[in-house]
């Protein structure tokens, strides 16, 4: 990973920040994107102090396509070759579909799907030059249904299917596309997604450690690994859901259907 140019979106907190630290420890050249400029600066200073690594930061709101396009073009012009793109930026709202506002529905697909696609398309020529790789952070919710995650799960399912097809299209160019399906991660994400805190309580025993997951993701870089699914138990549950849909529905309704 040393000297590889790695772009990470959604790098200001949670999994994105954890991945940045792991990659910095291995002396990668990092390009970090996030909405919070002050937080980006803090992370930049932290990486320099802890790992003696300089990194570039770009402020961009992935809710706004025009910002995504502008920053993508800026990065593409400055770095002719990009080795790895990690699409981590995302948003979610855990509410029943009937209660979701149009604004939240739009924001979810805008951030999780459309901006990911636009950003990837802009940087694709640079990634192709290095015969590099794209790592898209999806979710176990794309494979396993639970109440109050309809729009978030639908957006992540779109990311999953997009990634699987992109992998086929880019194989002839020797560009690898990898999917990471994650269950709930112990990060501030859930504080915003569900302000009641009930979802986090329900899934506490399946919560992933962001630092450990970041390490696992980093270990896939440069490999031919197609997909990383964590936690393993939820991956098994997704297979069970296909084989026994009615039993799975009953389980999901009774375990995850919090008030």
Enzyme catalytic residues: 152
Distance separating alpha carbons of residues 136 and 156, to the nearest angstrom = 10
Helix axes 245-255, 232-243, angle to 10 degrees: 130
Within a 10 A sphere around the Cβ of 220, how many other Cβ atoms?
A: 17
**Strands 133-139, 55-59: pairing kind:** unpaired
Strand ranges (E), the chain: 5-8, 29-34, 55-59, 84-87, 133-139, 176-182, 227-230
Distance separating alpha carbons of residues 111 and 104, to the nearest angstrom = 10
């Amino acid at each position: 990973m040393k000297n590889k140019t790695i772009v990470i979106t959604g790098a200001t907190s949670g999994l994105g920040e954890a991945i940045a630290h792991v990659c910095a420890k291995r002396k990668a050249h990092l390009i970090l994107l996030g909405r919070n400029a002050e937080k980006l600066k803090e992370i930049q200073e932290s990486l320099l102090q802890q790992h003696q690594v300089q990194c570039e930061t770009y402020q961009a709101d992935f809710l706004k396509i025009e910002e995504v396009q502008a920053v993508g073009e800026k990065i593409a012009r400055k770095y002719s070759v990009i080795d790895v793109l990690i699409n981590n930026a995302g948003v979610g709202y855990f509410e029943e579909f009937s209660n979701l506002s149009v604004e939240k529905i739009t924001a979810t697909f805008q951030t999780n799907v459309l901006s990911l696609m636009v950003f990837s398309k802009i940087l694709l020529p640079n990634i192709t030059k290095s015969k590099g790789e794209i790592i898209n952070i999806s979710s176990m919710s794309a494979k396993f249904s639970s109440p109050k995650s309809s729009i978030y799960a639908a957006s992540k399912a779109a990311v999953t299917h997009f990634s699987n097809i992109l992998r086929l299209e880019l194989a002839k160019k020797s560009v690898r596309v990898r999917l990471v399906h994650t269950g709930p991660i112990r990060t501030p994400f859930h504080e915003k997604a569900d302000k009641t805190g009930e979802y986090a309580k329900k899934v506490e025993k399946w919560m992933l450690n962001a630092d450990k997951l970041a390490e696992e993701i980093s270990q896939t870089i440069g490999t031919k690994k197609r997909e990383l699914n964590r936690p393993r138990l939820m991956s098994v549950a997704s297979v069970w859901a296909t084989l026994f849909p009615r039993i799975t529905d009953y389980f999901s309704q009774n375990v995850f259907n919090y008030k």
